[in-house]
Structure 1
C-alpha cells in the first residue's frame, strides 16, 4: 500500500471523459506516475491497483503499441507496470497481473473461489482403470511419482506421502490467481483458475481451466492454437499447441505436444 495512492479528482474526471466507470473510485489505487490518458472505455469494481503506463511494446511487423487499458471490465485485480490490457470480451477477475504483460482479445480470465490451480488432481497411471493414481503438484518429481504409484503395498508410506501432498495443496490454495511478468496472452478464449508463470506465451488457446503453468525466464512455456487443458500442470520449457487436448495431466519439463495430441 505504501507505493499506491488514491486517484485525484482530476484523474477521475479524465478517466470518466475517456469512457471509464467504476462502482467506487475510492477503492482504486494507483502509483504516483499513473497517467489516466492510457486508460479508456473500461469498468472497474472491487479493490483495484494500477501501475504506470510508460513503455511501448514492439510487435511483429513493426507495430508499436503503448501500454494501457482499453475496452475491459476489471474486478478486484492488481495490474503491474507497463501492461497492455485491451479488448476483453467478458471480464478479468481476482488476478494479480505482473509487469510488462500483454493481454489482448481474450474472453475471460478469472479465479472463482478458493482453488489449488491443478495441485492435488488425481491422475491415472500404469492402469487406466485406476488404483495407482498419482496426485500431481507443480513440484512433482519422477521419484515421488514412482514411489507413490508402485509402493501401494506400503500403505503407511503412501498415507504419509498423501499428507505431504495435501499440505502442499492447502498451502498454495488461493482465491487469487497470478500472471507473471512478461507474459503474452492473445486471442484466447476461457481461462479459469490458472496460475501462469512469468514469460509464458499463450496465443489462440481455446480453454484453460484449473491448472498451473510453470513458465520462467530461462525456460518459458508456450501454449498455442486451439489447445484445451483442464486439471493440469505444465512444467517449464514445454510447448502445447496444434489443438492438443489434455485433461487430468502432468506435462513434464521441455515436452512438446502437437498435432491434436489427446490425453486424459
Structure 2
C-alpha cells in the first residue's frame, strides 16, 4: 500500500458492514482511495480515488486509474510492467524462513493456474464487451469502471501473450526435461497424471494456490470429523504444495486443448513446433515491452532532483552514479538474458522434436 492509501469501511449508520477485497499481488499508489464494497483483480495497481463500487476481479494485471473523478481501467497492462516482474522476483527472496518444515505453504508464482484462469476469463469479458457495444465504441463500461477502446484492444493483446507464455512455458519445460526417443514416448511423457486432478477452478488460499475441488473436500472432511487436528490440517496443506506442479501441468494440458486445440494424447510434432514458435514470439514480445517500460526509469524526467549544485552534465553524472547506466542495470541485463535464454530453449526443444521425425515409433 502506498502512503496515504485509504478506504471507507462503514456506512456511518448501521456500523461496519462494508467489505472489500484486493486480490493477490495488487498494490495501491500513494493517496489512493477505494469506496467499499469493491473487489480489485489480482496483480493490479490502483491509482487515484475511486468512489464507485468497482469489481475488476475478472480483469487481472490491470491499472485502475482515476481521471476527473471517474474510474478508468487499463486491463492486462501490468503484464508488461517492469514493476510486476520485480515484485515477482523479490517476494520469494524476502522469504527467509529456515525451518525444514514451513508452516505457511506459499506459492509465489506470478503466472499460475489461478492467475491465468483469470486471464482467460478476462479475455472473454473484453470480447463480450466489444461484441455488445461494437468495435467502433470510444468507451466501454464494466462494473462501474470505464475502458477506452484502445485500452480494451491492448488488454486483449496482453492477455493473449500472457496465456501463450504460461501454457508454452509449461509445455516446453516438460518437453525439455522428459525422456523420450520417439513420438509415442514423447506423447506419453507429456501426458497428465492418471487422476487428472486440478483441471477445474483454482483459488488463492492465503498464498497457497490450490484446486477449488481440494478445498471443498477438505471442508467436508473437517465437518465429517475425518480431519480432527491442526497437525492433520497442516499435513494436508503441505501435501497440496507438493502436488502443485503436477496439478498445474494437468491444468495446462486441459487448457492447451481448449485454448490452443492441442491434444497432448494425439499431438503431432508439427503442431508442437508451431506452438513453440508462437510461445517464443510471445515471450520475446512481452520481454521487449518490459524492456521499454524499464527504459522510462531513465528518462530526463526521472533525473529531476539529481545534481543539486550543477547543470545538465552534473545531473546526468549524479543520476548514473546512483542508478547506474540503463544498459548495465541488473534488471535490464536480466531481461535481455531472459530473451536469449528462452530463444535458445525453444531452438533446443524444436531440434529435439525434429529428430523424432527421423526416428518414428515402430
Considering the TM-score relative to the shorter chain, is it more than 0.5?
Answer: no
TM-score (norm 1): 0.28
For CA contacts below 8 A with separation 6 or more, give which structure has more relative contact order.
2
TM-score (norm 2): 0.23
When Rg is computed on C-alpha atoms for both structures, the one with the higher figure is 2
| Structure with the bigger percentage of helix | 2
